[in-house]
Amino acid sequence: MTELPDAPTAPQLYLITPVGAEPGAFAPMLSELLERFEVSCIRIPGAGDETQLGRIADAVRDVAHGKDVAVVIEDHIQLAQRHGLDGVHLTGGAKQVRYARKELGPDAIVGAFCGNSRHDGMNAGEAGADYVSFGPAGETGLGDGETAPADLFAWWSEMIEVPVVAEGGLDATLIGRLSPVTDFFALGAEIWGEDDPVSALSMLWR
């Protein structure tokens, strides 16, 4: 099983695939991205029916594992097992961390999205999460408009050993500002809406 790297000394790239991606069209683009950029982990969003998610899981796994890149899927523990993925990204904070760890075993990747809550992040870490994700780090039109402030990442990186991921509303300026206090940057929506996602990523990640 491909493993998530230890917390890096410099931030690493964590890629989120587009919702509803068509495997036949997306796999070549993903392959090109992995040729040009060093990616530590790929996350598949959990939206869609079981058949569709299974198809994209297989396509992403085949490309990513060929490059020794870990693949997780949001929330769907059974799909992760069935399709040979490396673990899950839990969107509900710490709630299912212990259950996911029990189901997937000690070697699986279990990550938890904790919004802007220091408390949820600590609970997830104590429950055995391999990483905690905070966001949105930048302004977006989604959710209630609250962001995960820079001082949250700064506090976490100083006080907590569990690796931290920044995601949501990222741009080059924010990535530069958070780089000293963030282990991974999760990029997805920032690039897939562009005509050339590879070029868009190169503008954000240099």
Return the CA Rg of the chain: 16
- As a whole number, mean pLDDT of residues 179-185 equals 97
- Which segments of the chain are extended strands (E)? 12-16, 39-44, 70-74, 87-90, 109-113, 131-134, 164-167, 184-187
pLDDT interval class at 180 (50, 70, 90):
very high
pTM of the model: 0.94
Please check the confidence at residue 74 and state whether its pLDDT lies above 90. Answer: yes
Query: Which pLDDT score is estimated for 6?
Result: 63
Q: Rounded CA gap, 87 and 92, in Å?
A: 15
The tens digit of pLDDT for each residue in 115-171 reads 999 999 999 999 999 999 999 999 876 666 789 999 999 999 999 999 999 999 999
Which residues does 16 contact at the CB level (< 8 Å), separation at least 6? 42, 43, 45, 167, 186, 187, 188, 189
Is domain 12-204 given the CATH code 3.40.50.1370 in the classification? no
Residue ranges of domains in the chain:
12-204
CB contact at 8 A, 13 and 185: yes
